[in-house]
């Protein structure tokens, strides 16, 4: 039997219809890679195994952002990254050296990247669906998660020798 892409069987809104986390992971990798390729031109690779060094790399000092998705499907996308990687991303977006950016510029650029990933995911969900404005701060992904949500996908990516974590949370109930 030939292998088929799970998203091709789910119609135009595959993320919400997929039960297996690994199938949703594939879609999420595609969304993140498309944003990184089109906006930054940076290579970004999913990490199959997360080791303790990856977690330390993500957490200190970290910049996290989230965007809420509401409508037919409710949840959030949370992206956590070392501040140095967020700064490198902002440098490309602003066309300035990373050392010449303000903290506000780095946060603004990170918020825009979070918004683009959230928007890419929104396109895989059934309408009506709305995207909130992104929130960004020097906080962890856990602090952004609300009590009424649960993580359904958490991926770690390698980019420029550092790690980024992307978590999709689903609203309970």
Q: What is the pLDDT of residue 18?
A: 78
* Tokens read off for 163: 């790690």
pLDDT given at position 132: 95
Three-state secondary structure along the chain?
CCCCCHHHHCCCCHHHHCCCHHHHHHHHHHHHHHHHHHHHCCCCEEECCCCHHHHHHHHCCEEEEEEEEEECCCEEEEEEEEHHHHHHHHHHHHCCCHHHCCHHHHHHHHHHHHHHHHHHHHCCCCCCEEECCCEEECCCHHHHCCCCEEEEEEEEEEECCEEEEEEEEEECC
- Max distance between CA atoms of the chain, in angstroms, equals 55
Scan for tokens 């965007």, then name that residue: 67
Q: Mean pLDDT across the stretch 87-96?
A: 96
Residues 72, 149 contacting (CB under 8 angstroms) = no
Q: What is the pTM of this model?
A: 0.85
Question: What ranges do the domains of the chain cover?
Answer: 19-171
Q: Is the domain 19-171 a CATH 3.40.1550.10 member? A: yes
pLDDT of residue 10: 47
CB 89 within 8 A of CB 107: no
Mean pLDDT, the chain, integer = 84
pLDDT tens by residue, 92-140 = 999 999 899 999 999 999 999 999 999 999 999 999 999 999 999 865 5
Report d(CA 107, CA 2) in Å as an integer: 45
């Amino acid at each position: 039997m030939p292998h088929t892409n799970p998203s091709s069987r789910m119609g135009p809104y595959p993320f919400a219809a997929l039960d297996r986390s690994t199938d949703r992971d594939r879609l999420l990798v595609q969304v993140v890679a498309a944003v990184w390729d089109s906006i930054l031109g940076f290579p970004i690779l999913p990490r199959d195994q997360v080791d303790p060094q990856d977690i330390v790399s993500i957490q200190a000092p970290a910049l996290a952002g989230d965007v809420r998705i509401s409508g037919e499907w409710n949840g959030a996308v949370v992206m956590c990254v070392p501040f140095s990687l967020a700064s490198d991303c902002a440098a490309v977006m602003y066309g300035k050296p990373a050392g010449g950016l303000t903290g506000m510029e780095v946060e603004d650029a990170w918020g825009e990247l979070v918004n683009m990933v959230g928007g890419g995911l929104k396109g895989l969900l059934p309408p009506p669906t709305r995207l909130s404005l992104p929130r960004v701060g020097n906080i962890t992904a856990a602090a952004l998660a609300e009590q009424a949500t649960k993580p359904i996908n958490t991926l770690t990516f390698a980019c420029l020798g550092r790690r980024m974590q992307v978590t999709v949370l689903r609203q309970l109930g």
